[in-house]
Amino acid sequence: MAVAKRQTKKVNQMNSTRLGLQATVFSAILLTLPACTNLKSSRDVSDPGVPGRVLAVQVCSSCHGVTGESTSPAFPKLAGQQKQYLVAQLTDFKGHERRDSRGTEYMWGFTHLSSRQVDELADYFSSQTPMQGHAEAADAGMARGEAIFRQGIPDKGVVQCASCHGAAGEGQGTFPRLAGQHANYLLEQIKVFQLTDQRPRGAVMKQVTHELSDADAAAVTRYIASLGAAR
Amino acid sequence: MNTIPRFETLLLFLARLIRWRVSAIGALCTGLLLSLVLCEPAMAVPSFARQTGQSCVACHAGGQFPELTPYGRLFKLTGYTMGERTNPLAMMLVASATTTQNNDSGPSAPHNTLNGPAILDFASIFIAGKASDNIGGFAQYTNSFYDSQDANGVWHNRFVADNFDLRYADRSVDANRDLIWGLTLHNNPTVQDVWNSTPAWGYPYVSTTQAENGSLPAGTLLEGGLAQHVAGVGGYFYLNKSIYAELTSYQTAKNSLSFLSYGNQPGDTTNPLVQLDGNSIYWRLAYTKEWDAHNIMVGAMGLDAKVYQNDTTTTGLPLTSLGSTHYQDVGVDAQYQYLLAPHALTAHFRSVWEKIDDATGLVYTDGPANLNSTMAKVSYVYRDKYGGSLAYTKVSGSPDTTAYGGLGPQNVPDSERWTPELFWLINQNTRLGAQFNLFTQYAGASSNYDGAGRSPGDNNTTYFYLWTAF
């Protein structure tokens, strides 16, 4: 038993030495790796040399889709989004000024984007075929949603969406395109505007949505999601 | 007489351990740190989150590590290279307490030597992150504080290689085609897989190591039989987020690859290195689809391996003259996820069929054998905070007096277990959980499975754990 233990100890010591040697060789290899950049397919969000278009397809597309048509409603569609709006949001994520939970969880890592990269990313998504609508049956809820979108709810101070976001929900400048956006994402953002100050740049929406009931918010977001060319 | 160190003593012990191991792992850590171009001060978050700047929930469904989201799977498939190069070091601690329902019956009592007290169970160090635009890795080394107990009741720790996956990956993507491809060097079949329906990262994500009969009495080779004994070099591709295919060849992780099997070594009778007879081939196919907040995967996998049996009494070396044991495993698996705040639902299924031909006559003596293992599990997490899961696991196989004679008079492995679990994510790095193993069958019987009056329910365990990474 004692002999076996001594043997095991010796084997352990030999193994420790071997692990140390292997680690040294591995480390030497790893030391040479930083030089191995691959700008055509890099996923390095801290390298200002990576073109925005490369980051868009290599990184952003993982959630937002290569065509800007995200599959999951957890992530907003970006296809055909207004360029100025995209630049503003990327700037706010970069500076950690947009603080809603989804934004912080997924977007706060993009702190090293250069101005050029932000501009190129915004170009990439804004120049895409605009996001497509989700076909919905015409019912009372859709009619209510359309009424809020086009006329607002004057007695509650809810301004019609179309006044800033356009008659077709196409957006303009820093007012985002809404037509065809995921209803779930829109609803989540309405709650952020209503209940928090986590999107300071969108402070105007706090007043607009202040008196919007949950049922009306659901109706108008469902209507907006149906706008645009059908899927 | 058992010796149960206090928590403070264990922390002192950990500090000593780190000093002892500094010669072995120091070069690795120092080298990696030196190789960092964008080194940041260490923050109290694990290294992948530091690298991507994203929260744990971006990659882990409902924050229930290590269960991956679609984004987490892409992160792994692209070689852990998204984000910025940063400090790759992280640590993990698991403290736990396990109670066995009936700890005293039968000739092998006590079944759970500790049975009750909270212990610092194990600690891991990770070196995980991107090394270049195409290369990244995940290396985990773990110290188990209660690995074995000697005749005087003193517990001994053991420091071992744990999960390891080093990748080269690239992605060619445009509006018409999305092709991810890569090469992987790893140390356990399926540790490279990105769906948690496969064994290496499958449920249970953490479980008791203390109760002797707290787990199923048999499992297929694919389900951990080669873990941290082999080195696999594989190639894979994932096309249009739809078709995944992989082929990996395994050989024994020895000589220059022994860092993958550290802790298991030839000549050690307690922890001998499993030696493969030639190369072993593993294959994997999967189909995936995403729609709205849903995603599914259906897949299949297989492993063909010949394994020498070790002499565990005198030499700790393989008995190559006796030939080898041939395992042929084929499995199917599936996964469904619904991920939309505040809900995260994941369901898994896996079944593996194994054929065994044992030329050595040491493991199976009643002719060719077969073994089937099945796992089904569903889990739900609310607001990335409060979660629960229910799992069903079952194993059945042909009778064999040598392989299963020690379990009970029926000489079969057939066992069935339900595992409900509740957990609370105190923060994104820390999980507190209660897990219960409830056996309805053990060793082919629903009562008196050992012929000495012990029932399957006597093996039930209650397991409380605190799991944190930083």
Residues facing residue B94 across a β-bridge: B122, B467
Helices H / strands E in chain A, number of each = 11, 0
- B247–chain A Cβ distance below 8 A for any pair: no
Question: For domain A140-226, which CATH number applies: 1.10.340.30, 3.10.50.40, 3.40.710.10, 1.10.760.10?
Answer: 1.10.760.10
B342 inside 8 A of chain A by CB: no
Say yes or no for a CB contact (<8 Å) between B31 and A110: no
Residue among B31, B135, B262 minimizing CB distance to A28: B31
Q: Is residue B2 part of a domain?
A: no
**DSSP 8-state code for residue B368:** S
Domain count, chain B: 1
Above 90 in pLDDT, residue A16?
no
How many other C-beta atoms are found inside a 10 Å radius of the C-beta of residue B121? 22
In degrees, to the nearest 5, what angle opens at C-alpha A107 toward C-alphas A104 and A109? 100
| Span B344-351, average pLDDT | 98
Residue B1 placed within a domain: no
The number of C-alpha atoms within 13 Å of A113 and in the hemisphere containing its C-beta is 34
Residue B284 falls in which region: left (phi positive, over 0), alpha (psi -120 to 50) or beta: beta
This prediction's pTM: 0.89
Q: Is the dihedral of CA B316, B321, B322, B326 positive or negative?
A: positive
Asked whether the predicted pLDDT for residue B18 surpasses 60, the reply is no
* Dihedral angle sign, alpha carbons of residues A189, A192, A198, A199: positive
Least confident of A10-24, A95-109, A135-149, B26-40: B26-40
The vertex-A65 CA angle with A60 and A71, nearest 5°, equals 125
| Residues linked to residue A176 through DSSP beta bridges, in sequence order | none
Peptide bond connecting B342 to the previous residue in cis, omega within 30 degrees of 0? yes
CA distances from A209 to A75, A194, A204, A220 (A): 21, 6, 9, 11
B391 pairs with which residues across the strands? B377, B419
B470 CB contacts (<8 Å, ≥6 apart)? B44, B45, B46, B90, B91, B92, B429
Six token digits for residue B354: 């194994």
Which residues are CB-neighbours of A25 under 8 A, at least 6 positions away?
none
CA distance B125 to B142: 6
**pLDDT tops 60 at residue A7:** no
The residues in B 263-322 lying below 8 A from A, measured between CB atoms, are 265-270, 290-293
Instruction: Please tell me the predicted confidence (pLDDT) of residue B106.
Output: 74
Instruction: Measure the CA–CA gap between B325 and B334, rounded to whole angstroms.
Output: 29
Look up the CATH number of the domain holding residue B312.
Answer: 2.40.160.10
pLDDT in tens, B406-456: 999 999 999 999 999 999 999 989 999 999 999 999 999 999 999 889 999
DSSP H helices in B310-435: 401-404
Q: Is residue A24 within 8 angstroms of chain B, CB to CB?
A: yes
Listed by number, the residues of chain B in 142-171 with a beta carbon closer than 8 Å to a beta carbon of chain A are 170-171
Choose among B22, B52, B27, B28: nearest CA to B40.
Answer: B52
Chain B nearest CA to A38, separation (Å): 6
Give residue B41's pLDDT band: very low, low, confident or very high (50, 70, 90): very low
A20 contact B CB<8A? yes
Cβ–Cβ < 8 Å for B45, B60: no
Compute the half-sphere exposure of residue B376: CA atoms within 13 Å on the CB side of its CA: 4
- Least CB–CB distance from B27: residue in A11, A23, A110: A23
Residue B287 has pLDDT above 60, yes or no: yes
* Confidence grade of residue B210 (pLDDT, cut at 50, 70, 90): confident
**Which residues in chain A are contacts of B81 at CB distance < 8 A?**
43-44
- Residue of B133, B255, B262, B290 to mutate when probing chain A, most A C-beta within 10 A: B133
CA distance A212 to A34: 53
Mean pLDDT of chain A: 88
Structural domain includes residue B430: yes
Instruction: For residue B82, give the nearest of A12, A24, A43 by CB distance.
Output: A43
Say yes or no for a CB contact (<8 Å) between A31 and B52. Answer: no
Distance separating alpha carbons of residues B257 and B187, to the nearest angstrom: 9
Q: Which of residues 142-161 of A touch B (CB under 8 A)?
A: none
pLDDT class for A228, splitting at 50, 70, 90? confident
In this predicted structure, which of A133-142, B155-164, B301-310 has the lowest mean pLDDT? Answer: A133-142
- Kind plus residue range of the DSSP H or E element containing A27: helix A2-32
Residue A8: the pLDDT is 46
Q: Which residues contact B170 (CB under 8 A, 6 or more apart)?
A: A38, A41, B78, B134, B180, B181, B182
Res. B39 pLDDT band, cuts 50 70 90: very low
Place of tokens 């390298």: A47
**Cα(A79)–Cα(A86) distance, integer angstroms:** 11
Residue B380, SS3? strand
Query: What is the per-residue pLDDT for A27?
Result: 65
pLDDT score of B142: 95
Q: What percent of chain B has pLDDT over 90?
A: 80
Share of chain A above pLDDT 70, in %: 85
- Chain B contacts in chain A segment 204-223 (CB below 8 A): none
ipTM above 0.95, yes or no: no
Q: How confident is the model at residue A33 (pLDDT cuts 50, 70, 90)?
A: low
Closest partner residue to A31 (CB to CB) among B35, B171, B266 is: B35
pLDDT exceeds 60 at position B3:
no
A110-138: pLDDT as tens digits: 999 999 999 999 999 999 999 999 888 88
| Widest Cα–Cα separation across chain B | 68
Is the CB of residue A34 less than 8 Å away from at least one CB of chain B?
A: yes
The residue extents of the domains of chain A are: 52-126, 140-226
Chain B hits for A23, CB-CB cut-off 8 Å, are 24-25, 27-28, 31, 259
Give the pLDDT score at B234. Answer: 97
Q: Where are the beta strands (DSSP E) in B217-311?
A: 230-239, 243-252, 280-291, 294-307
Q: Where are the alpha helices (DSSP H) in B69-155?
A: 70-77
What is the separation of C-alpha B287 from the centre of its chain, rounded to a whole number of angstroms?
Answer: 23
Measured between CA atoms, the residue of chain B closest to residue A6 is B268
Is residue A199 within a helix (H) or strand (E), and if so which, with residue range?
none
Phi, psi (degrees; rounded to nearest 5) at B145 = -75, -25
Q: Residue B193 and residue B348: Cα distance in Å, rounded?
A: 14
Is residue B265 within 8 A of residue B244, CB to CB? The reply is: no
Among chain B residues, CA nearest to A74: B340
Q: Of the ranges A226-230, B299-303, B347-351, which one carries the lowest mean pLDDT score?
A: A226-230
How sure is the predictor about B15, in pLDDT bands with cuts at 50, 70 and 90? very low
Measured in whole angstroms, the distance separating CA B90 from the mean position of its chain's CA atoms is: 18
Mutate one of B34, B80, B132, B288 to test the A interface: name it (highest A CB count within 10 A): B132
Predicted pLDDT at A171: 96
The model's confidence at residue A37, banded by pLDDT at 50, 70 and 90, is: confident
- Return the SS3 of B220: coil
Using alpha carbons, list the distances in angstroms from residue B98 to B118, B213, B415, B437, B462. 8, 12, 21, 11, 6
The reply to whether domains A52-126 and A140-226 share a CATH topology is yes
Closest C-alpha among A141, A154, A159, A166 to residue A221: A141
**What type of residue is A152?**
G
Kindly write down the DSSP assignment for every residue of A143-159, as one continuous string: HHHHHHHHH-BGGGTB-
Chain-centre distance for alpha carbon B384? 23
pLDDT-derived band at A231 (thresholds 50, 70, 90) equals: low
User: How many CB atoms sit inside 10 A of residue B37's CB?
Assistant: 13
Please tell me which of the candidates B38, B75, B267 has its beta carbon nearest to residue A46: B38
Answer yes or no: is pLDDT of B12 > 50: no
Burial B147-164 (b: 16+ CB within 10 A, else e): beeeeeeebebebbbbbb
pLDDT at B40: 35
Q: Which fold has domain A52-126?
A: Cytochrome Bc1 Complex; Chain D, domain 2 (1.10.760)
Decide if pLDDT at B292 tops 80: yes
| A104 contacts B55? CB cut-off 8 A | yes
How many residues comprise chain A?
A: 231
User: Tell me: the pLDDT tens digits for A155-205?
Assistant: 998 999 999 999 999 999 999 999 999 999 999 999 999 999 999 999 999
Three-state DSSP at A132 gives: coil
- Distance, in Å, from the CA atom of A41 to the CA atom of A185, rounded to the nearest integer, reads 29
| pLDDT tier at A153, thresholds 50, 70, 90 | very high
Range of the domain at B446: 7-469
Q: Which tens digits make up the pLDDT trace of B66-116?
A: 999 999 999 999 999 999 999 999 999 999 999 999 888 777 778 888 888
Confidence of residue A19 (pLDDT cuts 50, 70, 90): low
Provide DSSP, B407-444.
Answer: T-TT----EEEEEEEEEEEEETTEEEEEEEEEEEEBTT
